[in-house]
Amino acid sequence: MTRREIEHINHEVLKKQNDIIQRIKQNNENEYHKTGRIKYARVITYGCQQNNSDSEKLKGMLKLMGYNQTEDNEEADVILFNTCCVRENAELKLYGNIGALKNLKKKKPDLIIGVCGCMMQQKHAVEMIKEKYRHVDLIFGTHNIYRFPEIFEKALHEKYTLIDILDTEGFIVENLPVERDEKHKAWVTIMYGCNNFCSYCIVPYVRGRERSRNPEDIIKEIKNLVQDGCREVTLLGQNVNSYGKDLKIEFDFADLLYKINSIDGIERIRFMTSHPKDLSNKLIKVMSECSKICEHLHLPFQAGSNKILKLMNRVYTKEEYLEKVKRIKEAIPGIALTTDIIVGFPGETTEDFEDTLDIVRKVRFDQAFTFIYSKREGTPAAEMMDIISEEEKQYNFNRLIEVQNKISREINESYKDNIYEVLVDGPSKTNKNILTGRTRTGKVVNFKGDANIGDLVNVKIKEVHTWSLNGEVVMSNQS
Ligand code: SF4
């Protein structure tokens, strides 16, 4: 299909959905004139930034339909759960939360309860909700969020659970309405899906194969964000640095970063998540040359043993990973590195685990997101056998946390008495009298001073903790 044909289909899809949005909005306004009651919607998001980004679109569509946002179930006319299936405990939590709404639905039969997202791309999860949670009104997946108004309107008139799941990805619909939680920074999805099929991961089955957005659409979106007050963008994708491989033009992730770096008004560029195999020399060069790209890289290594990396289908070795880290540290001195690590993957012995600790000690990550392996039905790893006991896995996990926390703390100590640029996020959640924000390296800084959300201020670090820094705003020539 040509770009023009895609734009035409996109236009038609949006027009149809927008007509439905207007119809629902009109009904809500008519009801308001009769009852004086404003309508509310609550969107509850589980899982990764991609889900947050999808939820912002759902909130955007609901807002145009006339639903204000609420955090209170009792007040809500619509409650949507945007689900994650990466870990088992997120699934269990979801079932608990849906079950807890049964009495509310009895009290308020017009309440619409919906479940969407990754979990709903799995048959067993949909069956479970159909059978055990009959008070759910609608179920839809990850591939048809753009049709939410249509699905929602049907559900408003149906008595049974409406299910609308697409098995295939379809094409990317641009320009959906978005209700962003923050104005000064934004998530920008640049690609969908993943082609890697790591043996433990459910993502390629529920989010489909890699589809990159057209660069022009991404640039246009970021320019619009700037007009709206945005200063920092985080580019999102399950495997963000493989962006562009499916495009019909010669244009990769590094090229995209160059373009975004030249947009006036954008001060900071971040991206996640990167796969080590796609961390090219070209990308490292761009990161070192573009002043707006933050000195932070999230580079999951998952396991240190080459035997386990092979079983995981990660397609790199421990040595290759360490070599790439060496190159990036040389090119960008002071870069903060963060990672994801799985402990207790099937087949992992304590000896294998020592390789994981070895990488942690050698790289010295600023932070690591650590997990004990969680079996996901439908993945190859679910069929693999465990070698060590749950107790041993827990013991190894605790050792990992201890080693990593010490390193995180030591790195943070090096920030003490130095001045860093911080993008102000607003008052701290735990103490409204102090502000909070992040350094370019992604460190959370709580600080005293006078500044507005979205300001870039210089903060002198006075005190450090394992997960955050405390400081005070200083004038640029003060030290
Ligand atoms: S790179 Fe691997 S772990 Fe990451 S989303 Fe793709 S399959 Fe899952």
Residue 199 CB–ligand 1 contact under 6 Å: no
Same domain, 343 and 440: no
Of 393, 413, 433, which one is at a domain's C-terminal end? 413
Residue 239 CB–ligand 1 contact under 6 Å: yes
Structure confidence by residue, pLDDT tens digits, 296-305: 999 999 999 9
pLDDT at position 167 is: 79
> Stretch 23-43: mean pLDDT, rounded?
96
Q: Which of 168-177, 201-210, 360-369 has the lowest mean pLDDT?
A: 168-177
**Residue 444 is part of which domain span?**
419-474
Measured CA to CA, the distance from residue 237 to residue 243 in angstroms comes to: 8
pLDDT at position 50 is: 87
How far does the centroid of ligand 1 lie from the alpha carbon of residue 145, in Å? 22
For residue 402, is pLDDT > 60?
Answer: yes
State the average pLDDT for the chain: 94
Q: Which of 85, 86, 198, 243 to mutate to test the pocket of ligand 1 (most atoms within 8 A of CB)?
A: 198
How far does the centroid of ligand 1 lie from the alpha carbon of residue 12, in Å? 33
Residue 275 CB–ligand 1 contact under 6 Å: yes
Of 108, 130, 164, which one is at a domain's C-terminal end? 164
Please indicate, yes or no, if residue 40 is contained in any of the structural domains. Answer: yes
Residue 105 CB–ligand 1 contact under 6 Å: no
How far does the centroid of ligand 1 lie from the alpha carbon of residue 203, in Å? 6
How far does the centroid of ligand 1 lie from the alpha carbon of residue 310, in Å? 14
How far does the centroid of ligand 1 lie from the alpha carbon of residue 474, in Å? 42
Structure confidence by residue, pLDDT tens digits, 324-339: 999 999 999 999 999 9
pLDDT at position 479 is: 44
* Ligand 1 atom nearest to CA at 194: 6
- How many domains does the chain contain in total? 3
How far does the centroid of ligand 1 lie from the alpha carbon of residue 312, in Å? 10
pLDDT at position 90 is: 80
Same domain, 27 and 47: yes
* Ligand 1 atom nearest to CA at 202: 8
How far does the centroid of ligand 1 lie from the alpha carbon of residue 376, in Å? 13
Same domain, 26 and 77: yes
Three-state SS annotation for the chain: CCHHHHHHHHHHHHHHHHHHHHHHHHHHHHHHHHHCCCEEEEEEECCCHHHHHHHHHHHHHHHHCCEEECCCCCCCCEEEEEECCCCHHHHHHHHHHHHCCHHHHHHCCCCEEEEEEHHHHCHHHHHHHHHHCCCCCEEECCCCHHHHHHHHHHHHHCCCCEEECCCCCCCCCCCCCCCCCCCCEEEEECEECCCCCCCCCCHHHHHCCCEECCHHHHHHHHHHHHHCCCCEEEEECCCHHHCCCCCCCCCCHHHHHHHHHCCCCCCEEEEECCCHHHCCHHHHHHHHHCCCECCEEECCCECCCHHHHHHCCCCCCHHHHHHHHHHHHHHCCCCEEEEEEEECCCCCCHHHHHHHHHHHHHHCCCEEEEEECCCCCCCHHHHCCCCCCHHHHHHHHHHHHHHHHHHHHHHHHCCCCCEEEEEEEEECCCCCCCEEEEECCCCEEEEECCCCCCCEEEEEEEEECCCEEEEEEECCCCC
Structure confidence by residue, pLDDT tens digits, 74-132: 999 999 999 988 877 788 889 999 999 999 999 999 999 999 999 999 998 999 999 99
For residue 438, is pLDDT > 70?
Answer: yes
Structure confidence by residue, pLDDT tens digits, 380-398: 999 999 888 999 999 999 9
pLDDT at position 21 is: 97
Residue 238 CB–ligand 1 contact under 6 Å: yes
Structure confidence by residue, pLDDT tens digits, 247-306: 989 999 999 999 999 999 999 999 999 999 999 999 999 999 999 999 999 999 999 999
Structure confidence by residue, pLDDT tens digits, 125-167: 999 999 999 999 999 999 889 999 999 999 999 888 999 988 7
The domain that holds 463 is classified in CATH as 2.40.50.140
> Stretch 457-461: mean pLDDT, rounded?
97
How far does the centroid of ligand 1 lie from the alpha carbon of residue 86, in Å? 10
Same domain, 130 and 218: no
> Stretch 408-419: mean pLDDT, rounded?
98
pLDDT at position 478 is: 47
Q: Which of 48, 50, 200, 239 to mutate to test the pocket of ligand 1 (most atoms within 8 A of CB)?
A: 239
Closest-CA residue, ligand 1 atom 2, reads: 198
Same domain, 78 and 215: no
Residue 201 CB–ligand 1 contact under 6 Å: yes
Q: Which of 202, 236, 275 to mutate to test the pocket of ligand 1 (most atoms within 8 A of CB)?
A: 275
The domain that holds 27 is classified in CATH as 3.40.50.12160
* Ligand 1 atom nearest to CA at 313: 2
Q: Which of 45-54, 168-177, 197-206, 402-411 has the lowest mean pLDDT?
A: 168-177
Same domain, 253 and 282: yes
For residue 477, is pLDDT > 80?
Answer: no
Measured CA to CA, the distance from residue 474 to residue 160 in angstroms comes to: 60
Tokens coding 254: 């590094």
pLDDT at position 257 is: 98
Please indicate, yes or no, if residue 174 is contained in any of the structural domains. Answer: no
Note the pTM of the prediction, 2 decimals.
0.92
The domain that holds 370 is classified in CATH as 3.80.30.20
Closest-CA residue, ligand 1 atom 8, reads: 201
Same domain, 154 and 202: no
